[in-house]
Amino acid sequence: MKLEPNRDGPVLPRVFQAYGWSPRQVRYIRGVVRVETGDGVFALKKTSADPEHLAFLDRVFDQLDETELPYFLPRVATKNGARVVQEGEGCWYALPWYGQAAEKGDEVRPEDLIQGLARFHQVTEPLVKGEKETGPHLRTDPLEKKRSAVDRLKEWHEIAVSREFVSPFEKTFLSYIDEIEKAINFSVQGLEKVEGRPAPRTALIHGRLHPHNLLVGKSGWRWIDFDHGGVGSPVIDIAMFLRRFLPFDSEEVVDPFSLLDIYQKQNPLKEKEQRLLALHLSYPESVMRALSAYYQPRPTVSESASVRQLEGEIDRLHLFQEWVRRVWTAEKNNRSQKSPRAVAGVRAARKKPSRSHP
């Protein structure tokens, strides 16, 4: 939740008091308040998550503490033992200040990150068993946003074709527009069919995985910003990881599906989860983000950089589509191989008597 000095400034002293802090220095850094005290340095964050949800997360993390998974930071307790302070228009929680935020996510070996993510999902699955799903468990972006993507695509198309001189970026865009639209429709139509159904399996998921939610320090890496996490399908985190932690603008590009193999060795996906992951990955999220950035009123990236980014995201989409085709082909083959005798019997029963032809 974004901090606003005029609104949140008067609240901070009360939050400090709740933690028993006498700050020596207070600074605002990347969406959190860095508080230096005589007892240490802390990251104080304001969140829009409701107290009940945060209390649920605390219960799960209390159990996680017993597993000694090294991927998280301990939550700091207030003077009265609470881990959340309700003040102003939101809730506040604190963590020890640790390391530096990742930039692209390649500061840590992706193999280590995906294996840690698999272990996290595996360990939390029994901890949330029986809990109601607490979020958009079948989608990484709201489905309404995905549905509106075709309209946005058409708007950008009209802008591009109306220009007297089409830019290099727009030439690339126009050459792939039909392919992008087909990818959107395939993903949306598939997700509409499963919307509202319970997830094949649930665990505690982060829900907003991004390199900026990864801290790297002397003792290794740590995930942060779980306040909007909840009970849902692990597929959501996997799809976000494969999209956001593998840059395509470096000399050496990691095969995302070799990473998926690493995940599955630790925490194998069910067939339904693989199909659900295929629907998520078939949506051209990164391509749409590149287009949106280019067509914003004041683009912040040069033309050549925009072209490279779009081409890289198209390459990523092609890679995902290849895997999606494999998943769908395997599903069709499995269906055709189920109960061949029964199928043959049904066909024989339905077969009409042959007629003679003149």
Q: Average the pLDDT over 215-240 and give the result.
A: 92
34 shares its domain with 120? no
Together in a domain, 84 and 124: no
| Number of C-beta neighbours around residue 213 at 10 A | 17
Q: 281 is written with which tokens?
A: 């990955």
Strand-pair partners of 331: none
Q: Is 129 inside any structural domain?
A: yes
| Residue 306 dihedral angles phi and psi, to the nearest 5° | -65, -40
166 and 266 co-located in one domain: yes
Check residue 19 and give left, alpha or beta (phi > 0: left; psi -120 to 50: alpha): alpha
Asked, for residue 58, whether it belongs to a domain, the answer is: no
User: How confident is the model over 243-284, as pLDDT tens digits?
Assistant: 888 866 656 667 889 999 999 999 999 999 999 999 999 999
**Looking at the predicted structure, is the pLDDT value of residue 139 above 80?**
no
Task: Look at 347 and 16; give whichever has higher pLDDT.
Answer: 16
Whether 163 is in a domain gets the answer yes
Question: 93 and 132 share a domain?
Answer: no
Are residues 183 and 85 part of one domain?
no
Phi, psi of 264 (to 5 degrees): -70, -25
**Residue 322 pLDDT class (50, 70, 90 cuts):** very high
DSSP summary character for residue 175: H
Residues 80 and 142 in one domain: no
Domains identified in the chain, total number: 2
Q: Single out the residue of 290, 313, 300, 239 nearest to residue 269, CA to CA.
A: 239
Domain carrying residue 84: 5-49+74-97
Question: In the prediction, which pLDDT does 250 show?
Answer: 58
The answer on 316 and 238 residing in a single domain is yes
Confidence label for 135 from pLDDT (cuts 50, 70 and 90) = low
Q: What's the confidence (pLDDT) of residue 42?
A: 98
Say whether both 90 and 180 belong to one domain: no
Residues 180 and 238 in one domain: yes
pTM here? 0.86
Query: How far apart (Å, rounded) are the C-alpha atoms in residues 4 and 138?
Result: 33
Is 204 within a domain?
Answer: yes
Same domain, 78 and 175: no
Q: Is residue 55 domain-resident?
A: no
CA–CA separation, 206 and 236 (whole Å): 9
Provide the residue type at 115 as one letter.
Answer: Q
In a shared domain, residues 201 and 242: yes
Question: How high does pLDDT run on average in the chain?
Answer: 87
CA-to-CA distance for 234 and 138, rounded, in angstroms? 10
pLDDT digits (tens, 9 = 90+) for 83-115: 999 987 889 999 999 999 887 766 889 999 999
Rounded to 10 degrees, what is the CA torsion of 88, 53, 146, 239? Answer: 120
Using an 8 Å Cβ cutoff, are 61 and 8 in contact?
Answer: no
- The reply to whether 232 and 324 lie within a common domain is yes
Q: CATH number of the domain at 318, please.
A: 3.90.1200.10
Res. 7: pLDDT tops 90: no
* pLDDT of residue 68 exceeding 90: no
In a domain, 233, yes or no: yes
